[in-house]
């Protein structure tokens, strides 16, 4: 296990280098100029030039990237281009919001998708199976931001059971934290649950058709043991793969859903940073996003090795 972790961490270094370079490059290719935002429409050419010199905007791209990288390897991701807020502070302020939504969405997805998929797989061709397949198709077709907009109307505006906007950290109040992310989690989790239901159903059907399940039944093992101990444990590998994909997808989806709920997460930070050409913040967002995705992938690998000993590294 340690070998696996060490290999992943070593592999992370070139990955971060490539991601940081490509992000820096893309941000430079985006049309627009931070000087227009800082100086406004009345700026004189002299002001334009002075600010460019101050921010080093006229230096060659490689020099600008090198300057950023030199500081980054020393652990200094810099400060916002507009004030002295450090990139690390900006990222750490917003990370709990997006992680809460992502894992909340995943929880909703697993709680709905996996049981529905298992039930449909165990009762293939039944009415429940057909309903699950239909529900999964619809769930995957609906955009999560649209679901979010629809959910807000009854739960936040009509009945005012849940807040329409804002985030409460779990350290302040666990109940309020759950309330603040509930709607967004359901909105995000709907498509995840649909994907998980389809994948789980397929995996269960495949496993139930294998020889060792037939053998287990022939040996007279109770159906419950056959299902839970043999079938589901083996069906779990593709389910974990789907969960890994879905977590990454939910991170992206959270960026949009945050807007609907006025949440100050990664998405809001990223959109504002792109809008204002705030390159240090954008680099920080992408770097942290990369780390989160790598961490999720490592967690999925670890989970594989638990459910299937053959996948453990030698």
Write out the residues near another protein by the rule CB under 8 A: 30-33, 36-45, 47, 50, 82-85, 89-90, 92-96, 99-100, 103, 114-115, 118, 149, 152, 156-157, 160, 163-167, 169-171, 228-229, 232-233, 236, 259-262, 264, 268-269, 271-272, 275-277, 299, 302-303, 306-307
- Residue for token pair 């919001």: 97
* CA–CA gap between residue 102 and residue 94 (Å, rounded): 13
Of 114 and 250, CB closest to another protein:
114
Minimum distance of another protein from residue 209's CB (angstroms) = 20
Q: Max alpha carbon distance in the chain (Å)?
A: 87
Both structure tokens of 292 = 């989160």
Of 73 and 146, CB closest to another protein:
146
H helix or E strand, kind and range, residue 279: helix 279-307
Cα–Cα–Cα angle for 177, 178, 183, rounded to 5 degrees: 115
Minimum distance of another protein from residue 42's CB (angstroms) = 5
Minimum distance of another protein from residue 153's CB (angstroms) = 9
CA 123 from centre of chain: 32
Residue 79's DSSP bridge partners are 86
Query: Which residues lie below 8 Å from residue 109, measured CB to CB, with a gap of 6+?
Result: 188, 189, 190, 191, 192, 193, 195, 196, 243, 246, 250
Minimum distance of another protein from residue 205's CB (angstroms) = 16
Of 14 and 158, CB closest to another protein:
158
CA 155 from centre of chain: 25
Of 36 and 76, CB closest to another protein:
36
Of 21 and 82, CB closest to another protein:
82
Minimum distance of another protein from residue 44's CB (angstroms) = 6
CA 186 from centre of chain: 14
* CA–CA gap between residue 249 and residue 256 (Å, rounded): 11
In this structure, what DSSP letter does residue 79 have? B
Minimum distance of another protein from residue 63's CB (angstroms) = 22
Of 101 and 194, CB closest to another protein:
101
């Amino acid at each position: 296990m340690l070998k696996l972790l060490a290999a992943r961490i070593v592999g992370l270094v070139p990955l971060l280098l490539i991601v940081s370079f490509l992000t820096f490059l893309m941000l430079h290719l985006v049309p627009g100029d931070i000087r227009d935002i800082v100086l406004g429409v009345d700026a004189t050419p002299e002001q334009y030039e002075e600010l460019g010199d101050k921010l080093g905007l006229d230096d060659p791209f490689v020099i600008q990237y090198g300057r950023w990288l030199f500081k980054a390897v020393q652990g200094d991701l810099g400060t916002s281009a507009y004030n002295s807020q450090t990139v690390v502070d900006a990222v750490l302020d917003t990370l709990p919001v997006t992680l809460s939504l992502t894992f909340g969405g995943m929880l909703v997805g697993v709680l709905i998708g996996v049981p529905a998929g298992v039930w449909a797989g165990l009762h293939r061709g039944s009415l429940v199976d057909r309903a699950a397949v239909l529900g999964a198709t619809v769930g995957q077709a609906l955009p999560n931001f649209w679901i979010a907009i629809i959910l807000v109307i009854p739960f936040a505006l009509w009945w005012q059971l849940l807040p329409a906007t804002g985030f409460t950290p779990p350290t302040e109040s666990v109940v309020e934290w759950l309330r603040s992310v509930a709607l967004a989690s359901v909105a995000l989790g709907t498509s995840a649950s649909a994907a998980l239901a389809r994948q789980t159903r397929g995996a269960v059907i495949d496993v139930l058709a294998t020889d060792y399940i037939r053998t287990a039944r022939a040996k007279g093992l109770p159906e419950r043991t056959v299902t839970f101990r043999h079938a589901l444990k083996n069906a779990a590998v593709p389910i974990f793969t789907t969960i890994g994909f879905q977590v990454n997808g939910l991170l992206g989806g959270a960026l949009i859903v945050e807007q609907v709920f006025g949440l100050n997460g990664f998405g809001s930070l990223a959109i504002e940073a792109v809008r204002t050409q705030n390159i240090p913040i954008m680099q920080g967002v992408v770097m942290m996003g990369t780390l989160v995705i790598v961490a999720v992938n490592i967690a999925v690998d670890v989970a594989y090795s638990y459910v299937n000993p053959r996948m453990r590294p030698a």
